[in-house]
Structure 1
Amino acid sequence: MDNTGLDGSSVIVTGGGSGIGRAAALRFAAAGANVVVADINADAAKTVAAEIEASEGRAAITVGDLSDQAVVDEVVTTAVTVFGGLDVLVNNAGIMDTMSAAGDVSDAEWDRLIRVNLTAPFLLTRAALPHMLAKRKGAIVYTASEAALRGSAAGAAYTASKHGVVGLTRSVAVMYRDSGIRANAIAPGATMTGITIDADPAALGPQVLGRYRQNVGRLAAADDQAAAIVFLASDAAANINGAVLPVDGGWAAV
């Protein structure tokens, strides 16, 4: 018997075509949820949707850059029109920086990281809230990062963007808790995904960060992160709100 409360629910997973997003989409579908797989890569989104449907689940896809308001609107509209509403929003999509120190970050890198990693989750949250408020129930889960908990896990742009995600998570949790909406975040440590880091090993940022990354511990599987996301979205976490859950093998404790 399903005890997650997710059976028949409508779920959006951004970055759902690969890595943590793919693993989360598959886990939600296995719990009986209807899943909108949102990704910038059309082929990846289609592949995950096909996996869900092959297991007799229901999936829809949306494709585009989530820093674009029109794409955000399409994602939310798809969930509402295809699956009859919106119960869970997983703000997972994100990009990595070049591990650069603040003095070496270009305007373009800063603007892109903030737009994709922080502004896009805000836009999606704002678009999703009216539908959740109408039902007086909803769960929003953000993928933050170990970099949201410390200054030694990534470059300046990524670190700032993920600290912002934590602030957004907590603000939403406080503002909407009396309306039946919960907002929580996971803070993944090092995880086996397809994300790549284009860093100059001779630059200040990578040189400094290299001193601290010995504390990373074991690499997590994407499904380790997905399990935490689904838990926070489920009825099993009904009284958890505003939490930032490290899923990092103990890195945050070092």
Structure 2
Amino acid sequence: MATSSAGGKTVVVTGGAGGLGKVIASAFLDAGANVAIFDVHEGRLKETAAGWEKHGDKFLTSQTDITDETAVTTFFANVSAKFGRIDMLINNAGVMDKFDAAGTLPLDLWNRVIGVNLTGAYLCTKAAINAFESQSPSGGTIINIASVASVRGFAAGAAYTASKHGLLGLVKNTATFYGPKGIYSLAFLMGGMDTNIVDIFATGFNQEGMARAQAIAPGFDPAKQMISLSDVVKYCIFFSDPAVAETSNGAMIDINKNWPVV
């Protein structure tokens, strides 16, 4: 998958030790980029680092809490120090809720989902922008892994829906303010994917909420509508070209195989 647009660049991927994040990060390494990832899962980080040993010193891994501003700022500073610059941030880290509506949603789950999906994305966006502005030449691109739940009222529970709606506001505000400075921001509106974001369902979920969501947007067939992670990678590498990212600055890009139909 080597491509001139990715080779030599430095890419940060949050939640990069598992699922979509790991697939994206691995592809950029294979394409010749420097890659830095952080994740909260120590075991996944160790396994990922071991698998990347063939890439020598072209990668950096860190166990970092995305909701801790000091830790996030330190991580980005370490990336800039190691590789000299940062060209791209992929805000991939995310957690799902359990399909609870507001009346039954526990506050601790609300705080966790908003913290990771929205506050974490903001903290990483902030750190990346500061790096983009201070390096020479300045500039960079931020891809945000959003969701069909970013534009639909009931594709998930209240917490996840609110977090992904809020993420689009962050994307558009960032694109508008920083676009003239060569810093671009866009969102992928993802459909169904086979990733570790649904790990939370292992402890149960709101049956009524799930049934309601399926009734509102029926017809999901994993064999037909599931998005291949390797196809998402192609979009990421495509937008690693700043000229391409500029043309889609502020855009919401559907990657969902036309499900749910809107």
- Displacement, 1:14? 0.4
Uncovered stretches (5+) of structure 2, i.e. residues with no partner: none
Of 214, 220, 242, the residue aligned with 1:216 is 220
- Displacement, 1:125? 0.9
CA distances 1:57-105 after superposition (whole Å, capped 9, x unpaired):
7111011211111221122012111111111111110100011111111
- Displacement, 1:236? 6.2
Give runs of aligned pairs for residues 30-179 of structure 1, distance below 5 A: 30-55=30-55, 58-134=58-134, 135-179=137-181
Structure 1 outlier segments of 4+, above 4 Å = 1-4
Alignment TM-score, normalising by the size of structure 1: 0.92
Percent identical among aligned pairs is: 35
Partner of 1:249: 257
Q: 1:57 to 1:25 in 2, by over 3 A?
A: farther
- Displacement, 1:197? 4.2
SS of structure 1 residue aligned to 2:103: helix
Partner of 2:236: 229
Partner of 2:7: 7
For the aligned residue pairs, the C-alpha RMSD in angstroms reads 2.0
Letter in 1 for 2:244: A
Q: 2:210 & 2:163 partners in 1: Cα distance?
A: 18
- Displacement, 1:25? 0.1
Alignment TM-score, normalising by the size of structure 2: 0.89
SS of structure 1 residue aligned to 2:249: coil
Partner of 2:248: 240
- Displacement, 1:153? 1.2
Contact residue 228 and residue 247 of structure 1 kept, 8 A = no
CA distances 1:16-48 after superposition (whole Å, capped 9, x unpaired):
001110111011112211000211112212332
Aligned residues: 253
Deviates most, 107-116 or 154-163:
107-116
Deviates most, 47-56 or 133-142:
47-56
Q: 1:229 & 1:213 partners in 2: Cα distance?
A: 27
Q: 1:211 to 1:111 in 2, by over 3 A?
A: same
Of 188, 202, 205, the residue aligned with 2:209 is 205
